[in-house]
Amino acid sequence: MPTQHSDIGLIGLAVMGQNLVLNIESRGYAVSVHNRTAEVAERFVAQHPGRRLRAEPTLAGFVASLSRPRKVMLMVKAGAAVDAVIDSLVPLLEPGDIVIDGGNSLYTDTERRDARLTALGLRFVGTGVSGGEEGARKGPSIMPGGPASTWQELRPIFEAISAKVDGEPCVVHIGPGGAGHYVKMIHNGIEYGDMQLICEA
């Protein structure tokens, strides 16, 4: 078992989660992973030998494996699943730790979660992640909200893994609360409208 702490942890190893982990690790960061089904995490790490990846079967072990302030990214289905994971995480985290929701959560849910975690001394970042499976692996567009204090903590990682246009990373701190997920909602609406126009044209 590795003794060095990981730079960031990710929960939820569906296709997007797996590709995001490989992207993060390829930029020089050590990543701890956890999945509701522990075998999924262990199989994923075993499939990528020699990488700075660490599967943790328990949430307690997962949290303990992270350097402080802990950065925990959730890539789970929007809705009740996000709340369930947060409920399980909260007793294990310490003031100043950062929880990042990278799913397509409704921005009002993000506002509610942000208020709750702020009251507990934790930092919550609702983050839009765009680009699908390929973008997650090679460089997504990233739209983080949350408190401004988290941006300096997350900026090196997010800028490293994001898509680049003319050398500029496709990520910027959007604003407080649910701003990141609000912008992602608008982004999706424009994207789907464009696709419909292409189809009809």
Q: Residues with catalytic annotation?
A: 184, 191
- Name the token pair of 20: 């995001």
What is each CA distance from 85 to 100, 148, 160, 168, in whole angstroms? 12, 24, 26, 33
Alpha-carbon distance of 178 to 184, in angstroms, equals 10
In sequence order, the 6+-apart residues with CB closer than 8 A to the CB of 99 are 72, 74, 86, 89, 93, 117, 122, 123, 124, 125
Alpha-carbon distance of 119 to 101, in angstroms, equals 18
Q: Which residue reads 């941006």 in tokens?
A: 151
Going by C-alpha positions, the residue among 181, 199, 75, 81 that lies closest to residue 132 is 75
Alpha-carbon distance of 98 to 102, in angstroms, equals 12
Reduced to 3 states (helix: H, G, I; strand: E, B; else coil), residue 151 is helix
